[in-house]
């Protein structure tokens, strides 16, 4: 396996990310060495929160939460998934799969011998992390999650499967704006398995999947800035033009946050993970089906305290909470706190307080 490593200089002078790096090297199935990064902040004897990010971000997403959690006596461990942040980045599309991410991160968990954990995951951090909990349950005391789920879709119609596959292969090339228009129209049932005759969530999510894969220089920083900062449409469009021309490094429309989310990727060859990952979300029946079923059966009978804490204003995940609460009868639902898909950044104090109360309660 060819593995890329982002030079340290890419992360110099990041705003609001003063954390010392921690590195763990694991072995992949083909015997390659894969280095995974995490931060470890707060009192060594404090209760531990394992906080996992999704696509296309990295542990920088938790930078605003860490001080609030540490102030409340919580130790925060936040890794970067392989392909993201300061972790190594396998170079080929075939290197990435849902199962590989679960295997890699479980190996990282075992290598560090972490235990007594409260888990929190959002987006792909939830999809991967919940599978980790089901595989290594004795390492976890409590489970929290939001703006994510554990998708299980065994009954998608053949018509929808064919339509999605045809669109991914032969559909029109999408721009940032044509993709965003379709994704905004999702009704919140995108990962929950809910399907109606006139609408399947897979038929909207496929726009995000195709855009990410077809866009070799995926505008990761701009996507994050768009969702986490108050930017004018003009500034977004102007930076997007610079990006498409290959001039993003000299764009006058870049912000500190935008640069932070582009930092892991010195050039487009480093972006294979974020490009490939959306196509692995199991909105259609795929190779993850049995593993998803097994994990859901674990949560159906688990007595571990379980907190569902959703933003409530994220069009991609709004409807998933109903499925989470059905999957985990032991779960309780926290009040929705707003902040959109990346509420870790936009509601850091509120989310930190809910999690700290859950950890200590």
Above 60 in pLDDT, residue 206?
yes
Alpha-helical segments (H) within 28-116: 65-71, 98-112
Average pLDDT (49-56) is: 98
Complete edge-to-edge strand list for the sheet that includes strand 140-145: 22-27, 33-41, 75-79, 48-52, 117-121, 140-145, 306-308, 331-333
Above 60 in pLDDT, residue 58?
yes
The pLDDT tens digits of the residues spanning 71-104 come to 999 999 999 999 999 999 999 999 999 999 999 9
Half-sphere exposure of 131 (CA within 13 A, CB side): 25
Confidence (pLDDT) at 187: 55
Above 80 in pLDDT, residue 130?
yes
The pLDDT tens digits of the residues spanning 9-44 come to 999 989 999 999 999 999 999 999 999 999 999 999
List residues bridging with 174 in a β-sheet.
Answer: none
Q: How confident is the model at residue 7 (pLDDT cuts 50, 70, 90)?
A: very high
Closest CA to 322 of 333, 337, 306: 333
Above 70 in pLDDT, residue 188?
no
Average pLDDT (137-143) is: 98
Above 50 in pLDDT, residue 216?
yes
How would you classify the pairing of strands 117-121 and 48-52?
parallel
Give SS3 for 323.
Answer: helix
Confidence (pLDDT) at 316: 84
Confidence (pLDDT) at 199: 57
Confidence (pLDDT) at 181: 87
Above 70 in pLDDT, residue 353?
yes
The pLDDT tens digits of the residues spanning 314-332 come to 988 888 999 999 999 999 9
The H or E element containing residue 24 is strand 22-27
Above 60 in pLDDT, residue 139?
yes
DSSP-based helix, strand, coil % in the chain, nearest 5:
45, 15, 40
**What's the mean pLDDT when you consider all of the chain?**
93
Q: How confident is the model at residue 182 (pLDDT cuts 50, 70, 90)?
A: confident
Residues labelled catalytic: 123, 314, 341
Least confident residue range of 95-104, 169-178, 254-263: 169-178
Confidence (pLDDT) at 108: 98
Confidence (pLDDT) at 338: 96
Domain(s) of CATH 3.40.50.1820: residues in the chain:
3-152+287-360
Q: How confident is the model at residue 197 (pLDDT cuts 50, 70, 90)?
A: very low
Confidence (pLDDT) at 319: 82
List residues bridging with 34 in a β-sheet.
Answer: 26
Average pLDDT (41-70) is: 98
Q: What is the second-level CATH architecture of the domain 3-152+287-360? A: 3-Layer(aba) Sandwich (3.40)
Q: What is the Cα–Cα distance from 109 to 79, expressed in whole angstroms? A: 10
The H or E element containing residue 51 is strand 48-52
Above 50 in pLDDT, residue 190?
no
Q: Using alpha carbons only, give the angle 148, 347, 349 rounded to the nearest 5 degrees.
A: 120
């Amino acid at each position: 396996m060819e593995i890329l490593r982002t030079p340290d200089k890419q992360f110099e002078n990041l705003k609001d990310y003063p954390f010392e790096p921690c590195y763990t090297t694991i072995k992949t199935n083909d015997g390659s060495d894969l280095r995974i990064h995490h931060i470890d902040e707060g009192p060594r004897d404090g209760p531990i929160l394992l906080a996992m990010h999704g696509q296309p971000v990295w542990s920088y997403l938790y930078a605003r939460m860490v001080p609030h959690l540490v102030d409340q006596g919580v130790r925060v461990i936040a890794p970067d998934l392989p392909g993201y942040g300061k972790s190594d980045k396998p170079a080929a599309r075939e290197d990435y799969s849902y199962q590989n991410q679960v295997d890699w991160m479980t190996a990282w968990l075992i290598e560090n011998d972490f235990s007594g954990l409260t888990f929190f995951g959002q987006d792909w951090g939830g999809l991967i992390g919940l599978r980790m909990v089901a595989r290594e349950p004795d390492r976890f005391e409590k489970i929290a999650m939001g703006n994510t789920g554990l998708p299980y879709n065994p009954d998608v119609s053949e018509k929808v499967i064919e339509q999605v596959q045809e669109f991914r292969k032969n559909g029109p090339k999408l721009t940032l704006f044509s993709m965003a228009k379709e994704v905004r129209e999702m009704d919140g049932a995108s990962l929950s398995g809910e399907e109606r005759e006139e609408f399947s969530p897979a038929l909207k999510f496929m726009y995000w999947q195709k855009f990410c894969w077809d866009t070799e220089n995926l505008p990761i920083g701009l996507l994050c800035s768009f969702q986490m900062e108050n930017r004018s449409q003009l500034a977004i469009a102007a930076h997007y033009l610079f990006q498409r021309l290959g001039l993003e490094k000299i764009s006058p429309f870049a912000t500190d946050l935008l640069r932070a989310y582009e930092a892991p990727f010195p050039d487009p060859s480093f972006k294979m993970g974020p490009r490939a990952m959306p196509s692995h979300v199991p909105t259609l029946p795929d190779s993850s089906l049995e593993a998803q079923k097994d994990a859901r059966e674990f949560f159906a009978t688990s007595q571990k305290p379980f907190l569902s804490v959703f933003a409530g204003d994220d069009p991609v995940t709004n409807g998933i909470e109903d499925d989470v609460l059905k999957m985990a009868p032991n779960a309780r639902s926290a009040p929705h706190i707003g902040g959109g898909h990346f509420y870790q950044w936009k509601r850091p104090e509120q989310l930190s307080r809910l999690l700290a109360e859950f950890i200590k309660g």
